A and B are shown apart, each in its own frame.
Chain A
Amino acid sequence: MIKQAPERLTSLLDECKSLAFDLNFTYAKQWKAKSKFRLLVGYLPIYVPREIIHAANGLAVGIMGVGDRKQIIKGDAYYQSYICHLPRGVIEMALDDNLNDFDGFLFPSICDCVRNLSGMFKLAKKGGFSRYFDYPQNFEKHIGGTFYRELLETIISDMFKINDHKIISAHLNNSIALYNKNRELIEKIYDIREEFPWRLSAVDVYHIIRAGMVINVEKHNEMLEEIVNLLGEDFGEPMDNIRVVISGAFCEQPPIGLIKSIEMAGCYIVDDDFMLGSRWIQGNIDSTTSDPLNAVVDSFLTQSAPSSAVYDIFNPKSARLVKQVRDRKADGVIFCAASFCDPALLDRPDLQKACDDAGIAHINFQFHENTGQFKVIKEQAGTFSDSIKLWV
């Protein structure tokens, strides 16, 4: 008889699921309501240093689009058909008051859609501040580093103007330590998934990580710790699935049905870039210095995950993908990008070439966050899985 997952794990996963897709951000709003000195700062994919928001007595809330959970009525009137889906859902939320209690918004520099969305928020006068988070593409400490520090100081001052809360080094060090812990625990979940992919599904992992983008890090860490412990038990049963890495879905998110379909077609997703922002910094940031802001700056310059969002002339992102496949003992890569997503789709040929050169099998498809039909994708993934099982 197959041993069932512990009940507590199931209830934690249910909690993550409902948090992850609460487009009213109820938890975050309740958290804020507890003190008038608390802040909510919404951020879009891909990366913001949440540590500084935390240290400013704020909660950084990831706005990852509406997926297939909300009908887009107004948003479509703001975007032409040939623009990806993510921003239209975000505008819909803004116009429908889902984002009402937010004090500010950050739009990380990932593409011109997100960049121009920051201007739309300005025109619509949403939030106390709304900034395009134009992190440096120059990684020299005294050039890009200086600029980045000034950028962070601007955001710190935006927040200070709202809640009058001054960040002191001890606060920021504490926030850094909490997020270090958070990334460590997330990596542990991925490691368990790598070793025992039958113990929780890719959708479960997705919910767990996404929940962490809308709740405070302290609570998320508690949940993660409990989940990691529970996953130590032996339950479930391995299936004859291949192991794949998903690449290209770092901004607009695939619908849950799509992730499910891939697994149901016989592919264990052992790594992905769905919420790369939460895993952006590789390793820990020093949480013991007298100048923690400097540590945050350094981490961006030297520990950022190579991705489509940063300038990458020597191609570490291809090398990273190949390494990820090797490390996770994956059999192949599924390139899965949002339609009309220039950053992902312009990188795809090169990433595919890197896979070819390394002898890694791959397939690709595109999606919209509200794609409703998965039959073709399931067939494609099924054929991919079969061909790998047959030949490898």
Chain B
Amino acid sequence: MSDPKEAIKEKSMVIQKEMLANLFTELSNAKANGKKVVYTFVPGNLTELILAMDMLPVYPEINALQSGMRKKSGSYIKDAEKMGFSEDVCTYVKCDIGMMLNGNIGPTGEKLPDPDLLLLSYTGCFTFLKWFENLERLYPGVEIAMLHTPYQEDGVITEEQLKYMVKQLEEDVIPKMEKVAGKKLDYNRLNKMLENAAKAEDLWVKVLETAKNRPSPIDSYFAGVYYMGPLNTAFRGTEEAVHYYEELYKEVTDRMSQGLCPVTPEGEMKEEKFRLVVEGPPNWTNFREFWKIFYDMGAVIVASTYTKVGGLYDQGFRHEPGKPLESLAKYCMGCYTNLNLPQRVDLIEHYIKEYKADGFLINSIKSCNSFSAGQLLMMREVEQRCGVPVGFIESDLVDPRYFSYANIKNRLESYFQMLGQRKVILAQEEVTA
């Protein structure tokens, strides 16, 4: 069960903690300092635009996941259910609404400021749209900007889609942002931020690719969700983010050159026994217990799809200073959940092969149709194409009622057993050959 020990932290994590603390202080002083606050989502976020207009972003999903980690989500969800939200719907939405009903207290214990703008860049999830309609009712009269991001239904970003996005940005989204910010968008400043974004993205890809090494010096899922934080949220485009990724990359390559395994909350993993690719978000309410099941078994996640919800940089995308709006548009359309199912299967197949994974695991999230609908077919396709053992577990993001430790542990143990047996057979075959 849950480990009471204080988690061991790498230097990069300490840097990130400081960055976040400063952001929340800024947010709690935002109204006093006349700073405008924008609520927006992580996938397909327009952070550079927000920051270039001196506004501060708040990400409701991040609030929800932090509420989950701080064990507050259960009661928030119940409060939203009392208000009439069904047990069946996305728990991120209910957790966020419950948090607002309870005073909108952020992770540092201070109240988060009300939004001046709801910026709905609606990438890869229809529920986002419903979520923001509900937020608008909670903050009547708030300015709203909506960027409809077309789905890559045919597996490509078309010229028409790109034009549609750019037009929305130019004629609707940016003017509304300028109105709230009280200033014009400075394109030079935006370009500079996109340049920084691309530098951080380069470094992030290098970090991710260290997992190709044996043993992998990182866990691309459990640690990956921390590593991706600055790039996916309020810091993309800043010097701080570049510095963070420089530090992280240094740390990771040091570990790699020493042949070390990933750092876990209980210290360094001693041996890499299994290399896995994981699809689906993690559970947040029991995050450490969940992770522990893996590191206790020597299982390292070498690639995950969840760490691509904020962008597929490892597949070549970079923010481009010369073409700011086109590149923001492509960014939004390129996030993982905006890929169609065949693209998602191709990507997973690629990860399994590139990262020489022993197995593929899906953590299917009750709340999240965007991820979950179709995963069983994806699993079959991957199994057929790659021939690796596949595993399937179920949990939820922030609803503790849907995390069954015993059930998940049992399933994973059987899965690891199967992986172990397969390794023995493969080794024997190699000897015979």
Residues of A within 8 A of B (CB): 77-80, 82-83, 87, 109-113, 115-120, 122-123, 131-132, 134, 136-138, 140, 142-144, 146-147, 150-151, 308, 311-313, 315, 337, 339-343, 345-350, 352-353, 366
Given contacts A82-B88, A111-B126, A147-B164, contact A117 B133 (CB under 8 A): no
Q: B100 near A: Cβ within 8 Å? A: no
Which of A142, A349, A353, A366 makes the CB contact (< 8 A) with B88? A366
Q: Is the CB of A120 within 8 A of B341?
A: yes
Given contacts A82-B366, A116-B373, contact A342 B127 (CB under 8 A): yes
Complex Cα distance A87/B374, Å? 10
Q: Which residues of A contact B90 (CB under 8 A)?
A: 342, 346
Q: Is the CB of A350 within 8 A of B134?
A: yes
14 A–B contacts, CB within 8 A, in A order: A79-B373, A80-B394, A112-B125, A112-B370, A115-B126, A115-B151, A117-B374, A132-B340, A138-B168, A143-B168, A150-B160, A340-B89, A342-B130, A353-B84
Q: Which residues of B contact A117 (CB under 8 A)?
A: 373-374
Q: Which residues of A contact B161 (CB under 8 A)?
A: 147
Complex Cα distance A151/B146, Å? 20
Q: Is the CB of A313 within 8 A of B369?
A: no
Q: Which residues of A contact B144 (CB under 8 A)?
A: 313
Q: Is the CB of B341 within 8 A of A123?
A: yes
Q: Is the CB of A110 within 8 A of B126?
A: yes
Closest to A111 in B: B126
Q: B377 near A: Cβ within 8 Å? A: yes
Residues of B within 8 A of A (CB): 83-86, 88-90, 93, 122, 125-127, 129-134, 136-137, 144, 146, 148, 150-151, 153-154, 160-161, 163-164, 167-168, 171-172, 340-342, 344-345, 364, 366, 369-370, 372-377, 381, 394
Closest to B394 in A: A80
Which of B160, B370, B375 makes the CB contact (< 8 A) with A147? B160
Separation in Å of the A367 CB from the closest CB of chain B? 12
Q: Is the CB of A349 within 8 A of B122?
A: no
Q: Is the CB of A140 within 8 A of B374?
A: no
Closest to A153 in B: B160
Complex Cα distance A132/B340, Å? 10
Which of B86, B129, B364 makes the CB contact (< 8 A) with A348? B86
Complex Cα distance A343/B340, Å? 20
Please list the 5 inter-chain residue pairs (A to B) with the smallest Cβ-Cβ separation, ordered nearest first: A119-B341, A349-B84, A132-B153, A346-B130, A116-B374
Given contacts A313-B146, A345-B88, contact A112 B126 (CB under 8 A): yes
Q: Which residues of B contact A337 (CB under 8 A)?
A: 86
Q: Is the CB of B137 within 8 A of A315?
A: yes
Q: Which residues of A contact B89 (CB under 8 A)?
A: 340, 342, 345-346
Which of B130, B151, B374 makes the CB contact (< 8 A) with A132? B151
Complex Cα distance A134/B125, Å? 12
Q: Is the CB of A313 within 8 A of B150?
A: no
Q: Is the CB of B369 within 8 A of A112?
A: yes
Complex Cα distance A33/B23, Å? 65
Q: Is the CB of B377 within 8 A of A313?
A: no
Closest to A346 in B: B130
